[in-house]
């Protein structure tokens, strides 16, 4: 009970992080790099928050294995500091630049963590970070423990500089939010350095994660307001990611034929109904792993990463429309274009190619069916 009271803020932080992790897991149909990175940050932060109390609990304990556990927990706690700082900075970087290749080149800012790992290995033979007296199992700080704080501080200062450089490329509210996310762990680290009994170093990072999740990962701009499909901005972001990773994928673009007439004759509320029902059909046709987005109006786009030409899905869409209970949906016609990504093709070139195929199909249907 004493430990529960002493570390209640740690327990609360872990529970909050677990809730955020579960929510993002349930929502994450499309694995955007920022979301995957935020989940990794959550897991590392949970490990840190749990490890910190363990270093206190096992210190000076003399029962078997306590000495080993004391060593392991302190080793992890020192190492997790630069690891977590590097991941946080990676999150800020990808939020600013949306470039995963840039992060890979920078090893996700894990250079300081690699250096600390080497120093910790040396620490087993020559205590430079910390040592533990065998007789008392008592932790003692080493002469180079300050190196960790300096490395982390340099990382955060670099990130402040990164935000400053990119301030004109981003909305001001996004910049202010990123500054808050960075400032919280710095404030926590300073407070705990002044008084080690205040366990704010890791829990303030949890607050930063909550801010990041609330502002960046629950943005209403990710989904289309009417249909609940992904928005055009989400489509743009995801296809850029696939191109950066040199993944194989296809783009299918769909445009509903005669939709303006439905709006004019039946009314906009019926037009909205058709869009909603057609969106449901698209979601039923394509697996959860495929992105289905609404570009604008009655235009839709699907990012297909599975093998095949996409023609099977087109026939499935037609079949689902014909089986629909509403006569208007049964008569619905659409034009489509499918284009596979080829290495070296830009985002705009791919969009132009598939758009051209879709409108070629629309003209063919007009010639066959008449205006």
Give 315-347 pLDDT, tens digit per residue: 999 999 999 999 999 999 999 999 999 988 999
- Reduced to 3 DSSP states, what percent helix, strand and coil does the chain have, rounded to the nearest 5? 65, 10, 25
- Written in H, E and C, the secondary structure of 141-157 is ECCCCHHHHHHHHHHHH
352 to 163, 302, 347, 359: CA distances (angstroms): 33, 15, 9, 11
- In the prediction, which pLDDT does 166 show? 85
H/E element, 255: strand 250-257
Who's near 30: CB < 8 A, 6+ residues apart?
A: 230, 234, 238, 291
- What pLDDT is stored for residue 197 in this prediction? 67
Question: How many whole angstroms separate alpha carbon 262 and alpha carbon 267?
Answer: 7
Give the model's pLDDT for residue 4. Answer: 57
pLDDT in the model for residue 114: 96
Listed residue (309, 362, 354) closest to 334, CA to CA: 362
User: pLDDT at position 208, please?
Assistant: 92
User: pLDDT tens digits, the chain, 371 residues: what are they?
Assistant: 555 555 788 888 999 999 999 988 876 666 788 888 999 999 999 999 999 889 988 888 988 899 999 999 999 999 999 999 999 999 999 888 878 888 989 999 999 999 999 999 999 899 999 999 988 999 998 998 888 889 999 999 999 999 998 887 777 888 889 999 999 988 988 887 787 667 678 889 999 999 998 888 776 567 787 888 888 888 988 898 888 888 889 999 999 998 988 888 889 889 999 999 999 999 999 877 788 999 988 999 999 887 666 788 899 999 999 999 999 999 999 999 999 999 889 999 999 999 999 999 988 888 877 55
Look at residue 156 in the predicted model and tell me its pLDDT. Answer: 92
Q: What is the tens place of the pLDDT at every residue in 199-227?
A: 678 889 999 999 998 888 776 567 787 88
Based on C-alpha coordinates, what's the Rg of the chain?
A: 27
Residue in 296, 284, 281, 279 with CA at minimum distance from that of residue 228:
279
Residue 30 to residues 188, 279, 313, 344, Cα–Cα distance (Å): 33, 17, 19, 23
Residue 5 has a pLDDT of 58
pLDDT, residue 334, reads: 93
Q: Which two tokens stand for residue 151?
A: 């490395």
Q: What is the pTM of this model?
A: 0.74
In 3D space, the residue among 200, 213, 74 whose CA is nearest the CA of residue 148 turns out to be 74
Tokens 């979301």 -> residue: 35
Please choose, from the candidates 38, 155, 178, the residue with its C-alpha nearest in 3D space to the C-alpha of residue 106: 155
Phi-psi group of 17: left, alpha or beta (phi > 0 → left; psi -120 to 50 → alpha; rest → beta): alpha
Q: Which two tokens stand for residue 61?
A: 């304990």
CA dist 358 and 360 (Å) reads 5
pLDDT at 263: 87
Q: How far apart are CA 336 and CA 311, in angstroms?
A: 10
d(CA 151, CA 137): 28
Look at residue 338 in the predicted model and tell me its pLDDT: 93
So what's the pLDDT on residue 219? 62
Residue 266, CB half-sphere, CA atoms under 13 Å: how many? 16
């Amino acid at each position: 009970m004493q430990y529960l009271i002493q570390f209640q803020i740690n327990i609360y932080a872990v529970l909050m992080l677990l809730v955020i992790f579960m929510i993002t897991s349930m929502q994450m149909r499309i694995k955007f790099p920022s979301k995957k990175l935020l989940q990794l940050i959550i897991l590392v932060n949970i490990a840190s928050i749990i490890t910190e109390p363990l270093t206190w609990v096992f210190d000076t304990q003399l029962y078997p294995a306590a000495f080993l556990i004391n060593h392991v927990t302190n080793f992890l706690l020192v190492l997790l500091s630069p690891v977590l700082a590097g991941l946080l900075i990676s999150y800020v970087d990808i939020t600013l630049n949306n470039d995963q290749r840039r992060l890979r080149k920078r090893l996700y800012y894990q250079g300081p963590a690699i250096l600390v790992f080497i120093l910790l290995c040396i620490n087993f033979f020559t205590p430079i970070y910390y040592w533990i007296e065998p007789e008392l199992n008592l932790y003692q700080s080493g002469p180079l423990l300050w190196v960790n704080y300096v490395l982390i501080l340099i990382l955060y200062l670099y990130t402040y500089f990164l935000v400053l450089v990119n301030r004109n490329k981003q909305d001001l509210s996004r910049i202010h939010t990123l500054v808050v996310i960075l400032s919280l762990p710095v404030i926590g680290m300073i407070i705990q350095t002044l008084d080690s009994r205040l366990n704010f170093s890791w829990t303030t990072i949890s607050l930063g994660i909550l801010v990041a999740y609330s502002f960046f990962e629950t943005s209403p701009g990710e989904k289309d307001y009417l249909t609940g499909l992904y928005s055009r901005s989400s489509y743009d972001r995801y296809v850029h990611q696939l191109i950066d990773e040199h993944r194989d994928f296809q783009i299918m673009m769909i445009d509903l034929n005669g939709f303006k007439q439905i709006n004019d004759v039946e009314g906009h509320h019926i037009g909205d109904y058709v869009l909603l029902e057609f969106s449901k059909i698209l979601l039923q046709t394509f697996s959860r792993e495929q992105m289905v987005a609404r570009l604008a109006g009655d235009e839709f786009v699907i990012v297909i990463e599975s093998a095949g030409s996409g023609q099977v899905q087109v026939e499935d869409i037609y079949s689902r429309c014909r089986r629909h209970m509403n006569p208007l949906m049964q008569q619905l016609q659409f034009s489509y274009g499918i284009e596979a990504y080829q290495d070296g093709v830009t985002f705009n070139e791919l969009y132009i190619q598939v758009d051209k195929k879709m409108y070629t199909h629309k003209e063919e249907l007009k010639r066959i069916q008449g205006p």
